[in-house]
Structure 1
Amino acid sequence: MIKQTTLIFLLQLTFLTGFSQYKVETIPDPKSQGQNYYVSDPDGIIGSAIDSLNNICAAIGEQSSAEVAIVVIDDFEGSSDFDFAYNLFNHWGIGKAANNNGLLLFIAKDRRRYQFITGYGMEGSLPDVTLGTIGERYLVPKFKEGDYGGGAIDAMNAIKKILQDPDAVKTLKAEARKTSFWYKHQASLLTALLLLIVLIIVYIWMASVSKK
């Protein structure tokens, strides 16, 4: 009886684990609900934040004609989050074919990974370095707190500002510098550098005195 119960438990565990690992084809397309839906959250990770994200994505589309999609899941099949997100981007055909102006934010919670995928038409406004800064500035801190919805909202709002006003990138970079290791510890690092220089000078002077 114990062996049978254990076997049933293992089978259930395997089923649940396999079920949470999505394939590209099994992720629900939000457009199946209507054109005003942009977020796929089949595991209910971001909760009520989905409404705010749908509104932000709709605003981005109205202001820039870009087509945006957001996917938040527990896990997926395969080893590469980039390959999975890229294949999903192409499978859904995100972005108008003529402009290739799609943008996908893909989040895999259990792996603590995220990916931005853009069409060629978006690379001028949102190059990889800008999206990387957005991810580090807005997604990573909120994800560490378990606030995946809040992180996605902050990141998409930053993207909306940049598409509205390209100069907003300068503000983003300035904010990112303020959170950098150098900015936070520049006083201590400068003090250590000066101390090192003094020690080197003293060492050189003592070496010259000993030779004389």
Structure 2
Amino acid sequence: MKKLPLLLFLLLASINSIGQNTENASSNSVKVNLTQYRQFFWDSLPSPVGWVNDYEGIFSDTEKFKLNNLITKFEKATTIEFGIVTIDTVKTSRDKFEALSLHIAKNWGVGKKGKDNGVLIGLSKGYRKIRIELGNGIAKKFSDQETKEIIEQDFIPEFKKGNYYQGMLNGISKLMEVLRIRMKEE
């Protein structure tokens, strides 16, 4: 009879251990799958659809349409191209967000060939991060400090209120305004 409680204890301990190992294996499997998915996204970026590619689902169709129209009109007037990409937390880790934004800008070829006059705005609502990638032709017109000020003064205030469309509209409008002025100065 003394062996029965001991056997029961060992059986329960084994079941608990199996359960913990299954949880750990499942957790590790999710991490591996997420890492593989992120690498797959990096290696095989989808082609852009218009100027606004909203992978995070932040903007309504109407908002995307308005942003696309604004960018199209500016591009026709100046040849400067803007791209907007929102990136959810599944597609990249927090520490690789900036690298992914630059990778997208280069792969999508934002800006005219030979002019390198593109601006890509990468946004992650989930990570609360924004990154502005400037082509070399545009980077000559903006200092890092100016870009930082536009982010802080024109994008961020509305983002903090949850108004991502208005923040994006304010920020892009400010960038376009400064670019128009700088182009007239040349």
| TM-score normalised per structure 2 | 0.71
- The answer to whether residue 97 in structure 2 is matched with residue 81 in structure 1 is yes
The partner residue of 2:83 within 64, 69, 74 is 69
In structure 2, C-alpha distance between the alignment counterparts of 1:72 and 1:19, rounded to whole Å = 20
Residue 41 (str. 1) matches residue 41 (str. 2): no
Map 1:1-212; keep pairs closer than 5 Å: 23-25=41-43, 27-30=45-48, 33=49, 37-48=50-61, 49-75=63-89, 76-77=92-93, 79-166=95-182
Q: Which segments of 5 or more consecutive residues in structure 1 lack a partner in the other structure?
A: 168-212
Give the C-alpha shift of residue 20 in structure 1.
Answer: 8.6
SS at 1:40 equivalent:
strand
Root-mean-square deviation (CA, aligned residues, Å) is 3.2
- The structure-2 alpha-carbon separation of the partners of 1:162 and 1:52, relative to structure 1 and needing over 3 Å to count, comes to same
SS of equivalent to 1:99 = coil
Cα distance change, pair 142–101 in 1 and its aligned pair in 2 (3 A)? same
**What is the SS of the residue equivalent to 2:95?**
coil
Amino acid at match of 1:133: E
Is the CA contact (8 Å cut-off) linking 2:56 and 2:124 kept in structure 1?
no
Q: CA deviation at 1:10?
A: 7.0
Structure 1 residues 20, 151: CA separation in 2 closer, same or farther (over 3 Å shift)? farther
Distance 1:163 1:50 in 2: 22
- In structure 1, how many angstroms separate the alpha carbons of the residues matched to 2:82 and 2:37? 24
Q: Deviations over 1:135-175 (max 9, x none)?
A: 001211112122222211111111121122239xxxxxxxx
Number of matched residues? 161
- Return the offset for 1:24: 3.0
TM-superposed deviation, 1:68? 1.4
Deviations 1:89-108 (A, max 9, x none): 11112212211111100011
Q: How high is the sequence identity, in percent, across the aligned residues?
A: 22
What TM-score, normalized by structure 1, do the two folds share?
A: 0.63
In the TM superposition, residue 117 of structure 1 has moved relative to its aligned partner by 0.5
Amino acid at match of 2:133: I
For 2:68 and 2:77, how far apart are their aligned partners in 1? 14
Cα distance in 2 for partners of 1:16, 1:144 equals 32
Runs of 4+ in 1 over 4 A off after TM superposition: 13-22
